[in-house]
Amino acid sequence: MMMKKPHLFILGLCMISCADAFIGMNWGRLGSQTMLPSMVVDLLLQNNIKEVRVFQQGINVLEAFYNSGIVATTGISNSVLDNYQNLSTVQWWIGEKILKYAQVMEFRYTTIGSNPFSPIYSKKNYLNVVEALINFQEGFRRNNMSHIKATTPHYTDVLTVTGKSKPSEVDFRPDVKDRMVKYVRFLRDEGSPFMMSMAPIHFVQTNGLDLEFGFIENNSTHRIQDINATYTNAFELIYDSLHWALYKAEAADVKIIIGSIGWPTDGYPGANDENAQRFFQSFLPYIASERGTPMRPKQNIDVYINSLADENQIPPQWGSYQRHWGVYKNNGEPKFSVDFSGKGRNVYPSFGKGVIQMPNRWCVFNRKLSDPTLVDAMKTMSCNVSDCSSLEEGGSCSHLSYSDQVSYAFNAYFQTKGQAAQSSSNECDMGGLGVLVSDNPSNGTCEFPVEILSAEFAVEGATFGARNDGGKRLVHGRISASLVMIAVLYIYLYSP
């Protein structure tokens, strides 16, 4: 509906030559209010991003990509792996999720599970992931679609790499080694890539390294000397460690792509806009230069940036910073300058168009501290329902006084509830402790958000292949019909 520009000319370019490394984007939608799929597609096109990894691929999401020329990677989550141990269900999935769309859009990879062997995401090891993956590739073959490669994103922790490892000494973790060897040999035989997820900030912090080692630029004093190579940053260290593990598994030629890499802006020490900007300013030109690593020089490394926008409903047990990976705030505003072309220019990405901000009103604490237990209970309740990760240690609002933190929590709740627009109850009552204000209570870098209107009704069960297990399904359809009408009218009148 929104896309009036002719984007068709992009289609097909990649079929001629895909030799250049691509810089793509991850797009997840675990937010209380999210941009409409058509807005997101428009945003990607404005930024000339032609590859996207979609984490929740409902029909409404895929439709937005029709004839856009953007190549999509979709997949299934860990929680449904059991269903795909059997080729007939895999064939059904391919029919419903790929073949139906194959005339109007292009698919790159199909991701089978997500970091299935990672202890930080789940205590469960999804050992059946390899069988599901083999079924998917066989399913593609039977449909004459072998060009779509099934692969599985693995997090850094499938390797024994630490902050002190020499890459040549790294291997796959002993408890999953048999599975990994079987897996990478299958990739080798199919010509499929190994997809690695990286979080440099988490790697350096959990390994006791200086933050500088998380950046690609050569500023860290930490050095790892290995045979003929010197490692000065986490990316090359991890990448070459994986190379050595593949080599030992007799799969040295398997291509390595990065399914997820970025820098969060809140919820963790060192997570802020400045550092995220710095990270991309050196990392993207490094990728575009195709310089490669010491073990794999002159490599085209395909990368998916994590991620498009913040997702305030990602379960917090994996670390609050997981909610703050976005290059964009969820209202379509870029947080910092980043040049997706990899030329390292100091440019801001295009703003999201057609996003409608809710009214400028905030719910804050009235500072009546006479019943401290009630205040605390209301704060806890608010944070349980909404996102308070900015209040945590290292977070952008952690410097606030107790009362101001309570205000932050009340507002987070109020906004998550869509400013009570869809209910008759007073969502700013807070047991008599809340008060509505129209002066922005933000404090320095601590921003009190205002929600956006997300006029979307997702079909039940349409959020197939969510990123998370135990997952929270997207809950939409909470905005009243009249607001939707206003939103649609607004988009119609004001979109480019």
Ligand X SMILES: *[C@@H]1O[C@H](CO)[C@@H](O)[C@H](O)[C@H]1NC(C)=O
Distances (CA, A) of 57 to 1, 49, 64: 19, 18, 11
Interaction mask 265-304, ligand X, x per CB under 6 A? -----------------------------x----------
**232 part of the interface to ligand X, by CB under 6 A:** yes
Among 17, 144, 373, 425, binds ligand X (CB under 6 A): 144
Pick from 152, 136, 74: nearest CA to 106: 74
Q: Cβ 146 to ligand X, closest distance in Å? A: 10
**384 part of the interface to ligand X, by CB under 6 A:** yes
Among 143, 277, 299, 422, binds ligand X (CB under 6 A): 143
**401 part of the interface to ligand X, by CB under 6 A:** yes
**422 part of the interface to ligand X, by CB under 6 A:** no
Number of residues that bind ligand X (CB under 6 A): 21
Rg (CA), the chain: 23
Q: Cβ 20 to ligand X, closest distance in Å? A: 21
Contact between 451 and 32 (Cβ < 8 Å): yes
State how far the Cα of 317 lies from the Cα of 384, in Å rounded to an integer: 12
Name the 3-class secondary structure at 194.
strand
**387 part of the interface to ligand X, by CB under 6 A:** no
**125 part of the interface to ligand X, by CB under 6 A:** no
Q: State the burial class of residue 444 (Cβ atoms within 10 Å of its Cβ: 0-12, 13-18, 19+).
A: exposed
Among 16, 19, 227, 493, binds ligand X (CB under 6 A): 227
Stretch 433-462 residues interacting with ligand X (CB under 6 A): 443
Among 88, 103, 373, 482, binds ligand X (CB under 6 A): 88
What are the φ and ψ backbone dihedral angles of 13, each rounded to 5 degrees? -55, -45
Between residues 228 and 425, which has the closer beta carbon with respect to ligand X? Answer: 228
| Residue located via tokens 């009103």 | 361
**360 part of the interface to ligand X, by CB under 6 A:** no
State how far the Cα of 289 lies from the Cα of 25, in Å rounded to an integer: 19
State how far the Cα of 320 lies from the Cα of 359, in Å rounded to an integer: 27
**217 part of the interface to ligand X, by CB under 6 A:** yes
Contact between 49 and 106 (Cβ < 8 Å): no
Q: How far is CA 225 from the centre of its chain?
A: 33
Strand ranges inside 360-406, DSSP E:
362-365
Between residues 5 and 100, which has the closer beta carbon with respect to ligand X? Answer: 100
Q: Cβ 354 to ligand X, closest distance in Å? A: 32
**398 part of the interface to ligand X, by CB under 6 A:** no
Among 128, 146, 207, 219, binds ligand X (CB under 6 A): 219
Strands 149-151, 356-357: pairing kind: unpaired
**249 part of the interface to ligand X, by CB under 6 A:** no
Between residues 41 and 364, which has the closer beta carbon with respect to ligand X? Answer: 364
Among 48, 86, 440, 480, binds ligand X (CB under 6 A): 86
Distances (CA, A) of 196 to 142, 316, 436: 27, 22, 46
**218 part of the interface to ligand X, by CB under 6 A:** yes
Q: In what order do the strands lie in the sheet with 303-305?
A: 149-151, 106-112, 71-76, 51-54, 23-27, 303-305, 256-261, 194-197, 153-155
Residue ranges that bind ligand X, judged by CB under 6 A: 86, 88-89, 143-144, 217-219, 227-230, 232, 294, 380-381, 384, 400-401, 404, 443
